[in-house]
Amino acid sequence: MSRLITRRRFLIGSTLTASALGLSGCDAVVESPKVQSVLKIAEGFTMKTQRFLLGDDALAREFSAADISPTFRANGTSMPDGGQYQDLLSRKFTTWQLDVGGLVERPAQFSLPALKAMPARTQITRHDCVEGWSAIGQWSGVPLAALLNQVGLKPQARYIVFHCADEFEKTLDGSGWYYESIDLVDAFHPQTILAYAMNGRDLEVPHGAPLRLRVERQLGYKQAKYLMRIEAVADLSGLYGGNGGFWEDRGYEWYAGI
Amino acid sequence: MDTSETMPTPPGSKRLIVHRHSIAVRLSHWLNVLCMTILLFSGLQIFNAHPALYWGPYGADNDPSVLSMRAVEGGDTTRGITRIGSLSFDTTGVLGVSDVDGQPTERGFPAWITLPSYQDLATGRRWHFFFAWLFVINGVAYLAYGLISRHFRRDLLPKAAELTPTNLGHEIADHARLRFPKGEKARNYNTLQKLAYLTVIFVALPLMIATGLTMSPGFDAFAPWLIDVFGGRQSARTIHFIAASGLIAFVVIHVAMVLVSGLFNNMRSMITGGYAIDSRPEPAVKKDFAS
């Protein structure tokens, strides 16, 4: 009988402990840095698995014109308020130039007409926001691979960083500028383009005029808008929060394949 | 299920402790409890980032939704309105609008059921995907065990005689009266249990994983056919929500059955493996369920 009571006590005791932990300790456990570093293991696991399954060149689904969303929701910044961007906008981006530098052999600037003169790719794809909604749109632009081949990457280059014209979060130290980064697998993927047109028209301001990134196998926050400068780097630790992107510096995964 | 020990019992009765659940089943069961609990709470956190569901390949603010939870300003109060199809319900306090630090706040599900309690999509995602991996690894190990040990065939696959309308009718009637098998019959799962467990193991849980993966733009490039199976990413998201609701319904009934058919005996069998059965001949009328 004593054994039974011991077990009964054990069962009741463990149930009470579990519910007490559940009620009071939840948010404290969630915020523990140790717990967070353990949880981050899953991101590496997800990326390795997806890269293994996808290979380098598997394409995202492309849709037909009939599938295009009637309204494509604009998210994040819909009008950069900096003086520089306002000046470019008032001149209809005729003075805008994309600066390509960092670990490249031949740093260069590209005007909008110069980009439009390069071989283009048009694709109708689904944009998946990390929040859960989706919109389908048609994008036209220059494959990033073509641009990178033109400037020539140095051997040490590992990531491509996209610097944007919108300061998404106003801070005193300037850490709130939008930026993003991808590795070379995604940079040279055939569907990774610098888009200057959406649904057959010049890119509108809420969608990132004059140029935005499309990385079709990842979530919406990777699709940086208002591109100003592209930089090839060897590692991401020296930029802003060191995590490779505006949202990444605020806790989101760098690899946004899920 | 072998007899492993005899418990002290009142004189005249034969109470046996049988070995009901293998260590693999017990371990995977409790790991599943942990994973599914965290997946639910973190999943509701993720849902709250955009508390609306759609059907088809796309869906956002301006597209028609099949379900939405919104805050609606009316006079000097804010009401939480949940809409399913064309039906709207005032769900203030629970869905759409609920208290955060005493203040009515716009949010899909309330703070007490999301992980973390406050709005934090990034953290919710980290918990969700970590425990999704653990859940998948646990599930694969369990499936391998179930096939190799013949657990599925021996314990879960209903026999032809059990699936006759007469037998099923009897079992449903007995369940409704909370009359559970006693004696030798209690050695095995009853048919309703078998069917419920098979549905969860081979339909509901795989459906959760498949619809979850269909929401991944990366996985979609690997298996675009999955998008078509579910009719689009937003349909997959909606099915993910419906299947999760079905699993919650299963857990509610499962826990209720555990409670009414002998809480202590059931809990012991899932922790130590030992399950007491009464090997006396079945009395004509059985009154107590909590033996």
* Model ipTM value: 0.88
Chain B residue with CA closest to A55: the answer is B222
Question: Which residue in A30, A43, A58 is closest to B123 by CB distance?
Answer: A30
* Closest chain B C-alpha to A36 CA, distance in angstroms: 8
Is B10 within 8 Å of chain A by CB?
no
* Closest chain B C-alpha to A196 CA, distance in angstroms: 22
Q: Is the peptide bond before B206 cis (omega within 30 degrees of 0)?
A: no
More confident site: B172 or A2: B172
Is A204 within 8 Å of chain B by CB?
no
DSSP per-residue codes, A206-247? GGTTT-EEE-TTS-GGGS--SEEEEEEES-STTSTTSSSSTT
Is A216 within 8 Å of chain B by CB?
yes
Question: Which residue in B123, B217, B268 is closest to A251 by CB distance?
Answer: B123
B240 interaction partners in chain A (CB closer than 8 Å): none
Question: Residue A174 has what pLDDT?
Answer: 83
Is B125 within 8 Å of chain A by CB?
yes
CB A218 to CB B268 under 8 A? no
Question: Residue B280 has what pLDDT?
Answer: 63
How confident is the model over A61-77, as pLDDT tens digits?
A: 999 999 999 999 999 99
Chain B residue with CA closest to A60: the answer is B221
- Measured CA to CA, the distance from residue A210 to residue A146 in angstroms comes to 19
DSSP per-residue codes, chain B? --EEEE----TT--EEEEE-S-HHHHHHHHHHHHHHHHHHHHHHHHHHTS-EE--SS-B-TTS--SEEEEEEEETTEEEEEEEETTEEEE-TTTSEEEEETTEEEEESS-GGGSSSSS--HHHHHHHHHHHHHHHHHHHHHHHHHHHHTTHIIIIISPPGGGGSHHHHHHHHHHHHTT----GGGGGS--HHHHHHHHHIIIIIHHHHHHHHHHT-HHHHHH-HHHHHHHTSHHHHHHHHHHHHHHHHHHHHHHHHHHHHTTHHHHHHHHHTSEEEEE-SPPPSS------
* Closest chain B C-alpha to A108 CA, distance in angstroms: 32
CB B237 to CB A132 under 8 A? yes
Residue of A9, A134, A222 to mutate, interface with B, max B Cβ within 10 Å: A134
How confident is the model over A244-255, as pLDDT tens digits?
A: 999 999 999 999
CB atoms within 10 A of CB A133: 25
CB A130 to CB B125 under 8 A? yes
Mean pLDDT (chain A) is 91
**Residues in B 235-264 with any Cβ partner in A closer than 8 A:** 237, 264
Q: Which helix (H) or strand (E) holds A110?
A: strand A108-111
CB B122 to CB A73 under 8 A? no
Question: Residue B289 has what pLDDT?
Answer: 47
Question: Residue B281 has what pLDDT?
Answer: 54
B222 interaction partners in chain A (CB closer than 8 Å): 50, 53-54, 58
Q: Please list, in sequence order, all residues whose beta carbon lies within 8 angstroms of the beta carbon of residue A15, skipping any fewer than 6 positions away.
A: none
Q: Is the peptide bond before A210 cis (omega within 30 degrees of 0)?
A: yes
CB A128 to CB B215 under 8 A? yes
pTM across the whole model: 0.89
Sign of the C-alpha dihedral computed for residues A140, A52, A35 and A173 taken in this order: negative
pLDDT in tens, chain B (291 residues): 444 444 455 555 678 899 999 999 999 999 999 999 999 999 999 999 999 999 999 999 999 999 999 999 887 889 999 999 999 999 999 999 999 988 899 999 999 999 999 999 999 999 999 999 999 999 999 999 999 999 999 999 999 999 999 999 999 999 989 888 888 888 889 999 999 999 999 999 999 999 999 999 999 999 999 999 999 999 999 999 999 999 999 999 999 999 999 999 999 999 999 999 987 655 544 444 444
Question: Residue A1 has what pLDDT?
Answer: 35
Residue A123's pLDDT band (boundaries 50, 70, 90)?
Answer: very high
- The conformation of residue A153, written as its DSSP 8-state character, comes to B
Is A258 within 8 Å of chain B by CB?
yes
Residues B174, B180, B181: CA angle, nearest 5 degrees: 110
Closest CA to A232 of A144, A171, A172, A168: A144
Question: Residue B11 has what pLDDT?
Answer: 54
**In 3-state terms, what secondary structure has residue A103?**
coil
**In 3-state terms, what secondary structure has residue A3?**
helix
Asked whether the beta carbons of A130 and A256 are under 8 A apart, the reply is: yes
A39 interaction partners in chain B (CB closer than 8 Å): 126-127, 130
